[in-house]
Amino acid sequence: MKSKSARKPVAWLMVSLCLVSLLPPRAGAWGREGHRVIARIAVNHLTAKTKAAIGELLRADPDDREMCSQQTSLDEKMACVSTWADVVKRDLQFACTASLHFVNIPIYAPPPQRRYDARRDCANGDCVVGAIDHYRLILTDTTKRASERALALKFIVHFIGDLHQPLHTAKDHDLDARNTENHNRFRDSGDRGGNLKLVTWLGEPANQFGCWNLHAVWDDGIIDQIHADETALANALDGALDPQKIAGLQRGTLVDWVNEAFGLAIGNAYHLPNHQGNDKVCEVPGGDKRDCDKYSPQTCRISEVHYRYHLGKDYFSQNLPAVKAQLTGAGVRLAKFLNDIFDPVR
Ligand SMILES: [Zn+2]
């Protein structure tokens, strides 16, 4: 039996996570397809011993709400569980995990500080890096119940994916705070990884969930334009690797991987065309969320007004290679991470 004191740090961590998760929710993660592609690539690089251990743990999954255990192969099962963490973050039971899908490194920090700093960016372990460390401890502790370790495994599969989405590692100012119109009631609390930068994507103002924003372009917009099913995309990305490239990708630590993704946030994701000062939109609470063209001082009276950026084919072609590289890197690194746990001497 675990002593009380041994359990205390986890309870304390969860309390601190809960407090921070009272902040406004941040949408997104790689979308469904991105996470599933990463999981499929990872399975290709697992050892037989790791595959067996994962298969056994997933049979003990206490929250198999998407019936992943009924899938016939391990790659189908892993693809299925890879999105679970996004599904449950709106549940009361897992609300504390909503802030664990990202880390907010400020892109506007002075250059020497423009990298992950645990004290500044991950206080109390409340970020994706702290979460992976936390769930790794659970996963490696064989005295814990298999059901608890199964949940830890599912969080890790998801969070190592999120860590590679550049906009899950960065935040900008909410530059719209300089837009004085209607902003006297809003303070600059950051752009939440591009969620507050409204855009048109390839000419479209909205997707099925609401107005396009920069974060959603990186979660889904670019991947959707590849027009490949997830198995074909995973095979194509994986097929372009050779042992040397795999070894290169698998080097480094979680923090190295975060800094790499953060570099892409600065150099790619936030490299935006200039907005035109008079092109503004607002999301009208209670109105049609997809009606993003209806800007007027009247309709936006109770909502924050944002500048809008127009992202077209140039933005797509400039950033597609980075998206592909991050999906691939996340897959082979997830495999390394799991092999190191389940098959360390190999
Ligand atoms: Zn996520």
Q: Smallest Cα–Cα separation from 152: which of 29, 282, 41, 63?
A: 63
Residue 5 Cα to ligand 1 middle (Å): 31
Q: Which CATH class is domain 1-346?
A: mainly alpha
pLDDT of residue 99: 94
For the residues 237-243, what does the mean pLDDT come to?
Answer: 97
Distance CA 77, CA 39 (A): 9
Residue 86 Cα to ligand 1 middle (Å): 5
Residue 272 Cα to ligand 1 middle (Å): 24
The residue that leads in pLDDT, 346 or 184, is 346
Residue 301 Cα to ligand 1 middle (Å): 32
Distance CA 274, CA 276 (A): 7
Banded model confidence at residue 306, pLDDT cuts 50, 70, 90: confident
Residue 29 Cα to ligand 1 middle (Å): 4
Say if CB 312 and CB 202 are below 8 A apart: yes
pTM beyond 0.95: no
Residue 6 Cα to ligand 1 middle (Å): 29
Q: Smallest Cα–Cα separation from 250: which of 156, 168, 338?
A: 338
pLDDT at 150 over 70: yes
Distances, alpha carbon 333 to alpha carbons 87, 170, 212, 240, in Å? 23, 20, 30, 16
Tell me the pLDDT tens digit for each residue of 182-200: 555 566 778 899 988 889 9
Residue 32 Cα to ligand 1 middle (Å): 10
Residue at token pair 């993003």 = 292
Say if CB 115 and CB 262 are below 8 A apart: yes
Distance CA 132, CA 100 (A): 9
Ordered by start, the domain boundaries in the chain are 1-346
Cα 81 off chain centre by: 15
Tell me the pLDDT tens digit for each residue of 197-239: 889 999 998 888 888 999 999 999 999 999 889 999 999 999 9
The residue that leads in pLDDT, 273 or 289, is 273
